[in-house]
A and B are shown apart, each in its own frame.
Chain A
Amino acid sequence: MEPMTTASTVSPWDDAIFWEGVDGGRLLLARCARCSRIQHPPSPMCPSCGSVSWDVQESSGKGRLHSWIVSHHPSRPDAEPRVVVLVDLDDGVRFVSNLHNVQLDEIQVDMPVEVTFQLVGDTVLPLFTRPGGGT
């Protein structure tokens, strides 16, 4: 395990709620069963109250684009450049994803976006697009 990226490594235990939701076409966030803090990315213990019990809260999937880049590393680029975005969900959570079906010259910081579930390779991932832009 590489220490520089340990914090972004997914734990099959701590993060199961989220990916089960994605498989069912829903954006489910971890909400502390005791104090209702929403924790994203999830963690095994609530940093506010110490609880290890979690409920889920279904996100509206709506939010605004906080920041973006084009992922196209010169030495090993994707076949098509991908736009990586930070989305501020209306639930108060910041989320890393890709922008789907939006042209580069249409991207604006703070533009409204909503979730769409798309097959990427052989995995469904939650991506974001303009409201009503999911296919």
Chain B
Amino acid sequence: MTRSPHHQAAIVGIGQTEFSKRSGRSELQLAVEAARAALDDAGLRPADVDGLVTFDIDSNDETAVVRSVGMTEVRWTSRTPQGGAGSVATLQHAAAAVASGAADVVVIYRAFNERSGRRYGQPGAFGGRRTRDWHRAYGLDTPAQQFALWFQRYMHMYGVTNADFGRYGVVARQHAATNPNAWFYQRPITLEDHQRSRWIVEPILRLLDCCQESDGGVACVVTSPERARDLRHPVVLIEGATQSNPTDGYVTTNYYHQDLTRYPEAESVAAQLWKSTGLGPGDIDVAMLYDAFSPVVFYQLEAFGFCGRGEAGDFIADGNIQLGGRLPVNTNGGLLGEAYIHGMNNIAEAVRQLRGTAVNQVPRAEHVLCSSGRSAAVLGRG
């Protein structure tokens, strides 16, 4: 078996701030607190860091992070595209930097005051309505509305209802209910609670189908497997990491593929990962699937082949994605139940599962899938 070049990197540290609705401090402070915490977790010092990766829309400038954390000199920086859909691509960037020798120790960071500051789910968060453009001129003001046009076609073709989506929301809060870091800690919900929550986009998404709005930061430290073996935690390998950016793709307004019941980008990253790692859906012990909205989980379950097309609703209803099920999904509660740190908190949970330190630990987890739809990675125990 040919090993992916990304097999030459490992995640050795994770760190985070508290997740809240009002952090009471700057986004830069959240970023550097998370970065320091990740370095402490790894047993590395700021002076060891020579690479930084973050998101295109992160407000924290690299030079400000270097200056505040006290990194001596950074010689690799890069940013991933597409907001949260690029969250898992940060692992690909960091692994590529380490595998190529461009950097030895890379810190990935993402921090924001997404609830107390700029709220991505509010109309106008990204410039507001325009009189003439392809999408927003018609009232597609928010990601929920933009995504919902896609989901409606899926509901129509497969006879899926909003209550079917609600069953994912119930599982996410069930996992969050035992996670002290989660917004829904000790607050599980029922399907009835879900069905009573208000419409955000009728007749597709209710409030409890939508992710949290959160303040906070998460960071990860990536280095070589050799160096990882000398550090304090069990080695977590990046077994494969990739992206898909096809000709007909858009990000939140991804309407120009022929069949809107499918997620071609996710199907592509799935095929790439199964090929590069030699693994398949049956080898995955835990899946961390980007869940800005419940239906995105349906699309990803099908794209990665965990169930057939149109079958995600039944797969979820049959208990497969709960703790103890065939494929526990978003064991921290995900973005719906734990917090919305733009997907990075789901990556941190994947690392905890492989170390055996998650609060909702899946026994003997060997391979964990992290997907943000347009980018994905398989992490494994080294």
A, B from the same assembly = yes
Contacts A/B (CB < 8 Å), 30 sampled: A3-B82, A3-B83, A5-B136, A7-B250, A8-B133, A8-B250, A10-B130, A10-B132, A47-B247, A67-B149, A68-B149, A69-B149, A69-B201, A69-B202, A69-B204, A70-B202, A71-B138, A71-B140, A71-B141, A71-B201, A73-B145, A76-B122, A78-B139, A84-B139, A84-B145, A84-B149, A86-B153, A96-B149, A121-B131, A123-B131
B190 at the interface (CB under 8 A from A): no
Residues on A with beta carbons closer than 8 Å to the beta carbon of B56: 3
A62 at the interface (CB under 8 A from B): no
Within 8 A of B (CB), among A1-33: 2-5, 7-10, 19
Tell which of A47, A67, A122 touches B131, judged by Cβ atoms closer than 8 Å. A122
> Do B131 and A74 touch (CB < 8 A)?
no
B364 at the interface (CB under 8 A from A): no
Q: Which residue of A lies closest to B147 (CB)?
A: A69
> Do A97 and B150 touch (CB < 8 A)?
no
B233 at the interface (CB under 8 A from A): no
Interface centre among A2, A69, A123 (most CB of B within 10 A): A69
Known A-B contacts A2-B57, A4-B82, A70-B202; the reply to A86 vs B255 at CB < 8 A is yes
On A, residues with C-beta under 8 Å from B are: 2-5, 7-10, 19, 40-41, 47, 66-76, 78, 82, 84, 86, 94, 96-98, 109, 120-123, 125
Residues on B with beta carbons closer than 8 Å to the beta carbon of A74: 198-200
Within 8 A of A (CB), among B186-206: 198-204
B252 at the interface (CB under 8 A from A): yes
B309 at the interface (CB under 8 A from A): no
Q: Which residue of B lies closest to A10 (CB)?
A: B133
Q: Mark B232-254, 1 if CB is under 8 A from A, else 0.
A: 00000000000000010011110
On B, residues with C-beta under 8 Å from A are: 56-57, 81-83, 122-124, 126-127, 130-142, 144-145, 148-150, 152-153, 156, 198-204, 247, 250-253, 255-256, 260
Residues on B with beta carbons closer than 8 Å to the beta carbon of A78: 139
Report the minimum CB–CB distance from B122 to chain A (whole Å).
Answer: 6
> Do A75 and B123 touch (CB < 8 A)?
yes
CA distance A35 to B7 in the complex (A): 42
Tell which of A8, A66, A82 touches B153, judged by Cβ atoms closer than 8 Å. A66
Tell which of A3, A98, A122 touches B138, judged by Cβ atoms closer than 8 Å. A98
Known A-B contacts A70-B202, A75-B123, A109-B156; the reply to A4 vs B140 at CB < 8 A is no
Report the minimum CB–CB distance from B207 to chain A (whole Å).
Answer: 8
Q: Which residue of A lies closest to B154 (CB)?
A: A67
Residues on B with beta carbons closer than 8 Å to the beta carbon of A10: 130, 132-134
Residues on B with beta carbons closer than 8 Å to the beta carbon of A75: 122-123
> Do B132 and A96 touch (CB < 8 A)?
no
Report the minimum CB–CB distance from A59 to chain B (whole Å).
Answer: 15
CA distance A96 to B137 in the complex (A): 9
Residues on A with beta carbons closer than 8 Å to the beta carbon of B247: 47
Residues on A with beta carbons closer than 8 Å to the beta carbon of B199: 74
Residues on A with beta carbons closer than 8 Å to the beta carbon of B255: 86, 94, 96
Report the minimum CB–CB distance from B205 to chain A (whole Å).
Answer: 9
> Do B130 and A82 touch (CB < 8 A)?
no
CA distance A36 to B133 in the complex (A): 24
CA distance A96 to B132 in the complex (A): 12
**20 other A-B residue contacts (CB within 8 Å) besides A75-B122, A96-B149, A123-B131:** A2-B127, A3-B83, A7-B251, A8-B133, A8-B134, A10-B132, A19-B132, A66-B260, A67-B150, A67-B156, A69-B148, A69-B149, A69-B202, A71-B138, A71-B201, A72-B202, A73-B142, A76-B124, A86-B260, A96-B140
